[in-house]
Amino acid sequence: MASEAAAETAAKPRGGRLCTICNTKRAALKRPKTLEQICKDCFYAVLEDEIHRVIVDNHIFKRGERVAIGASGGKDSTVLAYVMSELNRRHDYGLDLFLLSVDEGITGYRDDSLETVKRNEIQYGIPLKVVSYKDLYGWTMDEIVKLIGLKNNCTFCGVFRRQALDRGASLLKVDKIVTGHNADDIAETVLLNILRGDIARLSRCIYSPNAYRGFAREFIKDLERIRPRAILDIIKSGEDFRIATHTKMPEQGNCERCGYISSQKWCKACVLLDGLNRGLPKQGIGRTRGLDAERNKDSRETNGTQSLQSKQCGSLDF
Amino acid sequence: MACNSASCESGCYKDDERPVAANGNASNPRRGGVNVPGVCLKCKINQTIAVTHPAVAGSAGEGGRFCADCFRSNLLGKFRFAVTSNAMISPSDNILVAFSGGSASRYFILFSHVLVTQKNFDASRERERVLPVFGVGVAYIDETTMCAEASSEFGEAANEVELIVSNLTPPTKQFLAIPTESIYSPELAVGRDSLKRLGDVVRDLTGKEDLNKHLRMLSLQKAAFDNGYNKIVLGTCTSRIACHVLEATVKGQGFSLAADIQYVDARWKVPVVLPLRDCLSEELNMLCSLDSLKTVEASQQPRAGINGLISSFVKLLQEENPSRESTIVRTAGKLTPFSFNKTPEVDDPNERLATKRRQKKYNLKPDKSQPPESFCLVCSSPLKKSNTSGLNGLALEETSAVIYAAACSSCQYQILPKDTSSMEHFLSLLPQSITTLAKDSSDSHMFLREQIQDLLLSDSDDGT
């Protein structure tokens, strides 16, 4: 970009193309979403303004709410932290903001990102609260891996992490959680749900960590190169899909062990934890009977853990 | 079978590669759950295609699972089920088969006679014997004008296709070679010129490809109607539909997607049916290979732009997991179809009774949806009610804006020109069948005009 700008400066006596928004400063970048050539300040301005519009148009917050910002230390949550604190101040949302970070208890892994979040706390003046797997579940990932090895640890970490944000927020009496999921993430999820046959998730869009995501991610990057707006078009399609009402959707109820939201008798985390606590590392690994198994079906079979033990993938009623 | 966990240990992919049992004997094939490599999964007697015809089997999972006979009957079963459960074809029909030379439509032409067996139709016993066989004609679309680079290939392909058709077992099937410019008839020379210029005016590569696809359908429609056919058969198979699902998704066509992927599409003047919807292209290719059915390498250029990207993506996914294409289509199959996605009802009390019995037998829900109010004037996809959002930021005068609003968001973006002067030129290049639609929409959409009033440039704005 710097060399491009330099070349432009060399070619045009005035100092290159002007920003198409303010027409004053020199254009510093081409905005991926719209391909507009704009200056740095206008770029910040449009980004912040668009996010503000989304917040206002969708009535996302109420005055006085306690809002936890899911903070991983990555670029998305850092931008989120900055934007939330800035907009809260600038437009006087009246929100009580703080950063919520999850510590999985993996030595050497979270240390750097936690440092970044601590920096964010200082930079943006938002208090930081860290919840650990140890606090929430009684196990760190290191301890889990020691017990079950490296084969299915991703399942554990993913399930726990998904709930950790929720559980942590609930512990801290939070009204809303905000996360830094961006259009690429949503588009990727829509795609994955189509590819994997997850019609229930297609209407709920839940993040699920998965090696298979790599395929979809690669494809989306290639797609973006050809047509940047395609990412937003995927999201639009996802919103416009009309799903037949007679399609079986999982019933949402509550876990009998901990009260967390669950479509089964026990939530996934409880199933896994129970396994860990009883020295049964395979419990809950592999697919349970049918993605949309209804709760009453399940209660017929369950009197403990037998039906929840790992089943061969081939027994899926697809 | 599709497993999403990278660390899953069930080894479901590895079935075909499992080593032979250590004791050297093939395990008792009747014992449940044990798959002996090289022996058909279904009949458990014959050898699989991978063994008897290794050259044909290729990488498809099918070759390693079934013997030739079971494979044939499995494919035929899917085909027949699709046709009967949707009452796709009745004996009085006169069907035009769109034949590009590919294996899918080739298969249909060969096996269409199988559908004739009377017990497939819920007709009374006495009528069985006197019902005529449905008529079949074959259409080949000559895209020479639209793809100038490949003109000689199209010419050759047309000849080969005609040869195949003439060599089919009697009764003789009418063969129609349809140049795309036929939609401009009677002014064919003008049509050829307009088509060439259209190709230049539409800049977006994907838009160009999609426009060609829409024009192909229009040519087919015209040919069918003019030659007295009442139904069109396309060889669209599972694999093609899987690609279409992704294409529509990435183009923002989530609303209308369901319309294109059902067995029956009756929004057209001549309804279109897809009897091979449940068959994979891999299977159809294998069958044509097995039975030495002559096909013509589709003179399709490698698809460019987004469609090409998706094609390769799906191929990659399918190689990684042979049930991927089916999964994609099954997921998309859960989207609500439109009211025109069923065989149009005939005014015959017997037929209505037959339809009710069929719905009950195959557990189909009677459709309660309202027909959509309007269709995109370029691609005919059903339009959502609020279609004016794409107009923001464009410099359009009234008539152009109305045209714009009568198109879906995808065609708005990738096919229609972005300003008024180009729009007039663009409209002048379209065939009359589309421009009459445009004129109708212009005349009758007062409501639409009111909606877009705020977005229009008034004369004073541009200083004239």
Interchain CB distance below 8 Å, A190 and B249 = yes
- CA quadruple B278, B281, B286, B291: dihedral, nearest 10: 70
Token match 């029956």: residue?
A: B264
Q: Of the candidates B309, B409, B410, which has its C-beta nearest A223's C-beta?
A: B309
Residue A15: CA count within 13 A, CB half-sphere: 9
Find, in chain A, the residue whose alpha carbon is nearest to that of B248: A237
Q: Does A202 contact B at CB distance below 8 Å?
A: yes
Specify whether the CB–CB gap between A308 and B3 falls below 8 A: no
Rounded alpha-carbon distances, angstroms, from residue B284 to B98, B110, B235, B406, B452:
16, 12, 10, 38, 49
Residue A238 assigned as binding residue: no
| Distant-in-sequence, close-in-space partners of B291: CB < 8 Å, separation ≥ 6 | none
Cβ–Cβ gap B1/A314 under 8 Å: yes
Picking from B248, B317, B336, the nearest residue to A237 by CB comes out as B248
Is residue A70 marked as binding?
A: yes
Residue of chain A whose Cα is closest to the Cα of B255: A240
Query: Tokens for A209?
Result: 């960590």
CB B421 within 8 A of CB B462: no
Q: Does residue B293 carry a pLDDT above 60? A: yes
Determine the distance in angstroms separating the CA of A37 from the nearest CA of chain B, rounded to an integer: 16
Share of chain B above pLDDT 90, in %: 30
Q: Is B415 touching A (CB cutoff 8 A)? A: no
Q: Given phi > 0 = left and psi -120 to 50 = alpha, else beta, which region is A198?
A: beta
A180 is in an annotated binding site: yes
CA distance B427 to B400: 9
Tokens, residue A175: 């009204």
CB A230 within 8 A of CB B410: no
Q: How many CB pairs under 8 A join A and B?
A: 128
Partners of A237 on chain B (C-beta within 8 Å) are 248-255, 257
Question: What tokens were used for B51?
Answer: 């063994």
Range ranked top by mean pLDDT from B50-64, B209-223, B438-452: B209-223
Q: Report the half-sphere exposure of A51 (CA within 13 A, side-chain side).
A: 23
For chain A, domains (ranges, CATH) are: 17-60 (no CATH), 61-178 (3.40.50.620), 181-245 (no CATH), 250-310 (no CATH)
From A197, A202, A219, residue closest to B327, measured CB to CB: A197
Q: Which of A241-250, B90-99, B378-387 has the highest mean pLDDT?
A: B90-99
Measured CA to CA, the distance from residue A25 to residue B367 in angstroms comes to 59
Cα–Cα distance for residue pair B314/B319, rounded to 1 Å: 9
Whole-number Å distance between alpha carbons of B271 and B399: 31
Predicted confidence at residue A314, as pLDDT, reads 26
Return the pLDDT at A35. 82
Cβ under 8 Å to B: A residues 254-283: none
Contacts of A232 in chain B (CB under 8 A): 252
Alpha carbon of residue B101 to chain centroid:
15
Query: What are the Cα distances from residue B121, in Å, to A143, B345, B354, B355, B364?
Result: 65, 15, 8, 10, 17
pLDDT of residue A7: 46
CB contact under 8 A, A318 and B12: no
Q: Which of B7, B18, B320 is nearest to A286 (CA)?
A: B7
Is residue B344 left, alpha or beta, with left meaning phi > 0 and alpha meaning psi from -120 to 50?
A: beta
Determine, for residues A196 and B3 on separate chains, whether the beta-carbon distance falls below 8 Å. no
Query: What angle (nearest 5°) sits at the alpha carbon of residue B177, between those of residues B173 and B178?
Result: 130
Contact B215, B434 (CB under 8 A): no
> Smallest CA–CA separation between A127 and chain B, in Å?
37
Interface of B with A in 229-268 (CB under 8 A): 245-246, 248-255, 257-258
Identify the residue among A210, A233, A248 best suited for mutation to test binding to B, counting B beta carbons within 10 A and taking the highest: A233
Residues of chain A positioned with their CB less than 8 A from the CB of B324: 195
Token reading at B21? 């049992």
Q: 10 Å Cβ neighbour count for A227?
A: 19
Among A124, A109, A108, which Cα is nearest to A72's? A109
Single out the residue of A69, A58, A28 nearest to residue A46, CA to CA.
Answer: A28
Contact B157, B405 (CB under 8 A): no
Contact B49, B286 (CB under 8 A): yes
Of B227 and B160, the one with more pLDDT:
B227
**Environment class of A182 (CB within 10 Å of its CB; exposed 0-12, middle 13-18, buried 19+):** middle
Q: Would you state the pLDDT for residue B113?
A: 67
Asked if A244 and B6 come within 8 Å (Cβ–Cβ), the reply is: no
What 3-state DSSP class applies to A261? strand
Higher pLDDT, B297 or B162: B162
In this structure, of A99-103, B50-54, B300-304, B383-387, the range with the lowest mean pLDDT score is B300-304
Going across the sheet that includes B231-233, the strands are B174-179, B135-142, B94-98, B231-233, B272-273, B264-265
Q: Cβ contact (<8 Å) for A237 and B249?
A: yes
Listed in sequence order, the residues at least 6 apart from A137 whose beta carbon sits closer than 8 Å to its beta carbon are: A160, A269, A273
Task: Indicate the DSSP class of residue B335.
Answer: B
Element housing A132 (H / E): strand A128-132
**A224: nearest CA in chain B?**
B306
Whether pLDDT at B12 is above 70: no
Residue A115 to chain B, least CA–CA distance (Å): 31
The shortest C-alpha distance from B388 to chain A (Å) reads: 15
The pLDDT score that the predictor gives to residue A305 is 36
**Ranked by mean pLDDT, which of A44-53, B27-36, B157-166, B360-369 comes out on top?**
A44-53
Q: Which two tokens stand for residue B22?
A: 């250590």
- Backbone dihedral angles phi then psi of residue A225, each to the nearest 5 degrees: -65, -35
Give every CB contact of residue B294 below 8 A, 6+ residues apart in sequence.
Answer: B106, B164
Q: Tokens at residue B286, please?
A: 């294998």
Give me B373's structure tokens.
Answer: 């109010």
C-beta of residue A295 within 8 angstroms of C-beta of residue A253: yes
Query: CB A226: neighbour CB atoms within 10 A?
Result: 16
**DSSP per-residue letters across B253-301:** -TTTHHHHSSSEE-SSSS-EE-TTTTS-HHHHHHHHHHTT-------PP
- Is residue B273 within 8 Å of B314, Cβ to Cβ? no
Alpha carbons B422 and B427: distance in angstroms, whole number: 9
CB-CB under 8 Å, A196 with B327 = yes
- CB within 8 Å: B335 and A243: yes
From first to last of the 318 residues of chain A, give the pLDDT tens digit: 444 444 444 444 455 789 999 999 999 998 888 888 999 999 999 999 999 999 999 999 999 999 999 998 889 999 999 999 999 999 999 999 999 999 888 887 778 888 999 999 999 999 999 999 998 889 988 888 888 887 777 788 888 887 888 888 888 899 999 999 999 999 998 999 899 876 555 544 433 334 567 788 899 999 999 999 999 999 999 999 988 766 667 778 888 888 888 888 898 889 888 988 888 877 877 655 444 343 433 333 333 333 333 322 222 221
Residues A242, B3: C-beta atoms closer than 8 Å: no
Minimal C-alpha gap between B6 and chain A (Å): 6
For residue A152, which residues of chain B lie inside 8 Å, CB to CB? 5, 7
CA angle B358, B83, B171 (to 5 degrees): 130
**Is the preceding peptide bond at B171 cis, omega within 30 degrees of 0?**
yes
- Note whether B384 contacts A240, CB cutoff 8 Å: yes
Contact B331 A241 (CB under 8 A): no
Instruction: Say what the pLDDT of residue A76 is.
Output: 93
Are B334 and A243 within 8 A, CB to CB?
yes
With a CB-CB cutoff of 8 Å, which residues 41-100 of chain A face chain B?
none
Name the residue with higher pLDDT: B144 or B398: B144
Query: Per the CB < 8 Å rule, is B331 touching A154?
Result: no
**What are the DSSP calls for A47-87, one per residue?**
HHHHHHHHHHHTT---TT-EEEEE--SSHHHHHHHHHHHHH
Ligand-binding site membership of A240 (annotated)? no
Number of H helices, E strands in chain A: 13, 8
The pLDDT value given to residue B21: 39
Of A196, A226, A318, Cβ closest to residue B4 = A196
**What are φ and ψ of residue B96, in 5° steps?**
-105, 125
Please tell me which residue, B82 or B301, carries the higher pLDDT value.
B82
Closest chain B residue to the Cα of A316, Cα to Cα: B1
CA distance linking residue A99 with residue A90, whole number of Å: 19
Measure Cα distances from B127 to B118, B346, B354 in Å.
9, 17, 14
Residues of chain A with C-beta less than 8 angstroms from the C-beta of B243: none
Query: What is the biggest distance separating any 2 CA atoms in chain A, rounded to whole angstroms?
Result: 80
* B60 in Cβ contact with B50 (< 8 Å): no
Would the ipTM clear 0.85, i.e. be above it?
no
Mean pLDDT of chain B: 79
Contact B305 A211 (CB under 8 A): no
Is A214 known to sit in a ligand binding site?
Answer: no
Find out whether A314 is annotated in a ligand binding site: no
Taking only the tens place, the pLDDT of each residue in B387-428 is 555 555 565 677 777 788 889 999 999 999 988 788 888 988
- Measured in angstroms, the CA of B410 and the nearest CA of chain A are apart by 9
A204 and B CB contact within 8 Å: no
Touching B: A residues 283-302, CB under 8 Å:
286-287
Tell me the nearest-neighbour CA distance from B380 into chain A, angstroms.
Answer: 17
State which residue of chain B sits closest to A233, comparing Cα positions. Answer: B252
Tell me the pairing of strands B272-273 and B264-265.
Answer: antiparallel
For residues A237 and A272, give the distance between their C-alpha atoms in angstroms, rounded to a whole number.
35
Please give the pLDDT value at position B301: 60
A chain contacts of residue B258, beta-carbon cutoff 8 Å: 242
Task: pLDDT band for B102, please (50, 70, 90 cuts).
Answer: confident
Burial of B319 (0-12, 13-18, 19+ CB in 10 A): exposed
Give the residue from chain A lying closest to B365, CA to CA: A246
Please tell me the predicted confidence (pLDDT) of residue B57: 74
Give the minimum alpha-carbon distance from B387 to chain A in angstroms, rounded to a whole number.
13
Does A76 show up as a binding residue in the annotation?
yes
